[in-house]
Chains A and B, each alone.
Chain A
């Protein structure tokens, strides 16, 4: 049987506006989730956890966040790294202050704290747009990283200026620290990402999402139709920062274990997430995942092919990897400027008519 939506009729508005209107899509997503939750935790090893799955999940979360702000609400931000740092430091302070606290709660609270910081740095968006806003958010990036370097309270006066995650648990299972088993850290990140991807989807398909997209597409008309610009923009900044803060907390506590702000949350991270969102597809939840996969998994894949299969020296492989990734980004953006998600949408549209294209 071919993958197509012809013949998949809807008889109610509820079934017409579900997330995956095509039956095969639904089966596929349920299948992926089943494998992710029921199979991978039993076969996962240290390498897959540290190099592939956990970074993918962490960056997918960050991409979701930036996509809400840039893709849905049209506000360009280069402060992602800074907001991730806020999430990481909030997470650290909470972990130290409340050792008994469930890590899920810690990460979510870290996200909420970042959301408040996000609102503060979102205020200029009420006056400025586009490139100028990008420059204003750049200020957030540099200011926040500087702040975490300069104020010892944030890193609890440690001699190295670093923060490191102590061992913390979820229902007595360690998810942070060196003793955390790979399946636990993986499942921890997976649950957060799946739950909040669902939340992102819900927010973007409803009233809030439409108010963001209205502001993005035509702010004057949005206002005339009843969208308060202040509320729409600041809610986008808040929710976007919430996601980015959670990803920063996960990045620090689960993935890195210990972090130093300039190194871990520099401007390159802001660009990385922005590239993910652009390559994946602005204004698409699926695009956030595709973009994160592209930017995180392709390098791992290339490295494995070049070093593992072809047996090239690691330094040569690393440089060729940069070249190839750059070329791939350009090829994809020329082929489809609206990102991988759009590529998928176009494929679906073609399949709908296949094999009679006219």
Chain B
């Protein structure tokens, strides 16, 4: 079986669909009538020049922004207005463009916080600790240790993340999102500011996450090489409008995209 047919077999039904999203801040239209979908098991890239509305789109999906018009459908259900933590409970995790780790906490605690939505013991048992709370803590610790192994960050387990170098912090942030065991992972520029080696590592993690855990991934990225290699489908935004949507090859040959983004030779 060829590689592409193999991929196609893994991609399932539509998981998340945004329909005619319009988002404006006062007079500024950040997004205008944007519609696209994300299918189960795929890696979906959102690209566009700076200020195109990519991060706003992610913020709409994760419940930070509430669009003036349009609908978000997740797992076949229309989503009402939701708070971010409710979105997290539905199984959507994300990372941020600027690292948003809990700087005073250790790597381990950051990852354990990622499991917040799965932990259930009430305050009383937590106060007593012995019994259900400790048992739950140890169960989740074991799951988190798998992620620590997966990302190869054993050595920094107990280090406060504020002390870690940038590349490592990005990795821990990915780990925290993974710890949530979300169905849909939103990555906002996971490779920004990294050197080549770190980028390669991060690409490997993204592919492995998708492959091993079957997690659906939507990512924003500026490195075209990365985007074209990793993603199954790409949606291109510019000035809050959708320019193109399709496989990397289709997008690469789309004239509007070439004009707006990839650069055009004026001769």
Binding site for B on A (CB under 8 A): 13-14, 17, 199, 202-203, 205-208, 210-211, 213-214, 216-218, 220-229, 235, 283
Q: How does the 8 Å CB contact mask read for B100-128 relative to A, with 1 for contact and 0 for none?
A: 11111100010011101101010100111
The answer to whether B104 and A213 touch across the interface, beta carbons within 8 angstroms, is yes
B145 & A224 in contact (Cβ 8 Å cutoff)? no
What residues of chain B lie closer than 8 Å to A13, measured between beta carbons? Answer: 138, 141-142, 145
Contact A223 B126, beta carbon cutoff 8 Å: no
B83 and A228 within 8 A (CB): yes
Contact of A283 with B104 at beta-carbon distance under 8 Å, contacts A13-B138, A207-B121 already known:
yes
Taking beta carbons and an 8 Å cutoff, which residues of B are in contact with A? 62, 64, 83-85, 87-89, 93-94, 96, 100-105, 109, 112-114, 116-117, 119, 121, 123, 126-129, 133-134, 137-138, 141-142, 145, 176-177, 180
Tell me whether A225 and B141 are in contact in the complex, defined as CB-CB below 8 angstroms, given that A202-B133, A206-B126, A217-B105 are known contacts: no
Q: Cβ of A224 and Cβ of B133 under 8 Å apart?
A: no
Interface of A is mostly: helix
Q: Chain A contacts of B142 at CB under 8 A? A: 13
Nearest chain B CB to A82 CB, angstrom units: 24
CB A225 to nearest CB in B, in angstroms, measures 6
Residues in chain B near residue A203, CB distance under 8 A: 123, 126-127
Q: Name the one of B88, B112, B119 contacting A224, with C-beta atoms under 8 angstroms.
A: B88
Please give, as numbers and ranges, the residues of chain B lying within 8 Å of A14 by CB-CB distance. 134, 138
Nearest CB in chain B: distance from A19 CB, A: 9
**Within the complex, what minimum Cβ distance (angstroms) separates B143 from chain A?**
11
The residues of A that contact B64 with a CB separation of less than 8 Å are: 220, 224
Whether B83 and A214, one on each chain, are in contact in the complex, defined by CB atoms closer than 8 angstroms, is no
Question: In the complex, what residue of chain B is closest to A216 when comparing beta carbons?
Answer: B104
Residues of chain A within 8 A of B103, CB atoms compared: 217-218
In the bound complex, residues from chain B placing their C-beta under 8 Å from that of A205 are 129
Closest chain A residue to B121, Cβ basis: A207
Nearest CB in chain B: distance from A104 CB, A: 16
A227: which of B85, B104, B112, B141 is its contact (CB, 8 Å)?
B85
- Is the Cβ of B113 less than 8 Å from the Cβ of A214? yes
Find the B residue at minimum CB distance from A224: B84
Q: List 30 A-B contacts (CB under 8 A).
A: A13-B138, A13-B141, A14-B138, A199-B128, A202-B129, A206-B126, A206-B129, A206-B137, A207-B137, A210-B105, A210-B112, A214-B102, A214-B116, A216-B104, A217-B101, A217-B103, A217-B104, A218-B101, A218-B102, A223-B88, A224-B62, A224-B84, A225-B85, A225-B93, A225-B113, A226-B89, A226-B180, A227-B113, A235-B123, A283-B104
Q: Are A210 and B113 in contact (CB-based, < 8 A)?
A: yes
For A17, list chain B residues within 8 Å (CB): 137, 141
Contact partners of A223 in chain B: CB under 8 A: 83-85, 88
Contact, CB under 8 Å: B100 / A218: yes
Residues from chain B with a CB closer than 8 A to the CB of A210 are: 105, 109, 112-113, 116
Closest 8 CB pairs of A and B: A226-B88, A221-B100, A217-B102, A226-B117, A202-B129, A223-B84, A226-B116, A207-B119
Name A16's closest neighbour in chain B (CB-CB): B141
A206–B129 Cα gap in the complex (Å)?
Answer: 8
- Of all chain B residues, the one with the shortest Cβ separation from A221 is B100
Docked pose: A222 CA to B145 CA in angstroms: 21
Contact status B85-A226, CB under 8 Å: yes
Q: Report B32 CB to chain A, min CB distance, Å.
A: 25
Once bound together, how far apart are the Cα atoms of A62 and B6, in whole Å?
62
Q: Which of B88, B127, B129 contacts A225 (CB 8 A)?
A: B88
**Is A206's CB under 8 angstroms from B100's CB?**
no
Bound CA–CA A139/B137 (angstroms): 39
